[in-house]
Amino acid sequence: MTKLSVNVNKIATLRNARGNNIPNLEMVTKSIIDFGADGITMHPRPDERHIKYQDVFDLASIIKEKVEFNIEGFPSDRFMSMVLEVKPHQVTLVPDKEDVLTSLNGWDTIKHKIFLKDIIKDLQNSGIRSSVFIHPEIEMVEGASFVNADRIELFTGLYADSKNSIANYVECSKQANLMSMGVNAGHDLDSENLDFFIKNMPFLDEVSIGHGLISESLFLGLENTINVYKSILQ
């Protein structure tokens, strides 16, 4: 079964809007885990506009003892120092610029092969699984294998924009599997487009979903929404 990792950035965004601790990020994260999520994803950005670096330290042990912990981000010195101390189960490397609104670009794993290979070596030496965020292009999958990534995460924003445009994702999934890499996916997935994606992907270990799931929970409630996603994934 494909695992569901819930990105809690939007919860932190709502909390930060009023400058206090409502909603309580720890309480909501615990609830998401209790409601059946297989993992929690956090993506602290340099400006800390949603998840703060302190959030990662505060919640790491709570998350890791129950489900998989995935931290996303650009591997700056500050980011790497944090993840090597926290030691999440997985780190997803994203090529974000400092002022980017959301992650829309994948790594050029060929152009940045030396940089990525060194970063991934540091992660693996600390027992952390590495995942590289890429667009659904065979060359980028092959580049991810060259830098010794454990997994790729396929950017699904292109699929979400044109619901049936999945052929490249299928081929990348097959190629990654042939190269002994796991396959994750994320960005703009929701309860409407996830079913078709899941049914057509030959290899898919995990989906990371935040914005769509949290938005739908405003109507359905958080527990019901997670149950909907888990039902699709099963």
Choosing from 72, 137, 153, 206, the catalytic residue is 72
CA distances from 129 to 47, 49, 55, 217 (A): 26, 26, 21, 30
Q: Is the residue at 192 inside a domain?
A: yes
Q: Is the residue at 189 inside a domain?
A: yes
Mean pLDDT to the nearest integer, 66-77 = 97
Task: Give the amino acid at 129.
Answer: R
Confidence of residue 152 (pLDDT cuts 50, 70, 90): very high
Examine the residue annotation and report whether 72 is marked as an active-site residue of this protein: yes
Confidence of residue 157 (pLDDT cuts 50, 70, 90): very high
Choosing from 153, 187, 206, 216, the catalytic residue is 187
Burial 97-113 (b: 16+ CB within 10 A, else e): eeeeeebeebbbbeebe
Q: Is the residue at 234 inside a domain?
A: no
Examine the residue annotation and report whether 43 is marked as an active-site residue of this protein: yes
Q: Is the residue at 165 inside a domain?
A: yes
Confidence of residue 231 (pLDDT cuts 50, 70, 90): very high
Confidence of residue 66 (pLDDT cuts 50, 70, 90): very high
Q: Is the residue at 107 inside a domain?
A: yes
Q: Is the residue at 225 inside a domain?
A: no
**What is the CATH number for 107?**
3.20.20.70
The span from the CA of 191 to the CA of 141, in Å, is 27
Give tens-digit pLDDT for 24-58: 999 999 999 999 999 999 999 999 999 999 999 99
Task: Give the amino acid at 22.
Answer: I
Burial classification of residue 85, based on how many CB atoms lie within 10 Å of its CB (0-12 exposed, 13-18 middle, 19 or more buried): exposed
Give tens-digit pLDDT for 169-224: 999 999 999 999 999 999 999 999 999 999 999 999 999 999 999 999 999 999 99
> Is residue 173 a contact partner of residue 143, using CB atoms and an 8 Å limit?
no
Mean pLDDT to the nearest integer, 70-89 = 97
Task: Give the amino acid at 108.
Answer: D
What is the total count of domains within the chain? 1
Residue 123 sits in which domain range? 3-214
Q: Is the residue at 93 inside a domain?
A: yes
Q: Is the residue at 222 inside a domain?
A: no
pLDDT over 70 (residue 104): no
Choosing from 43, 50, 206, 216, the catalytic residue is 43
Residue 206's pLDDT is 98
- In percent, how much of the chain has pLDDT > 70? 96
Examine the residue annotation and report whether 50 is marked as an active-site residue of this protein: no
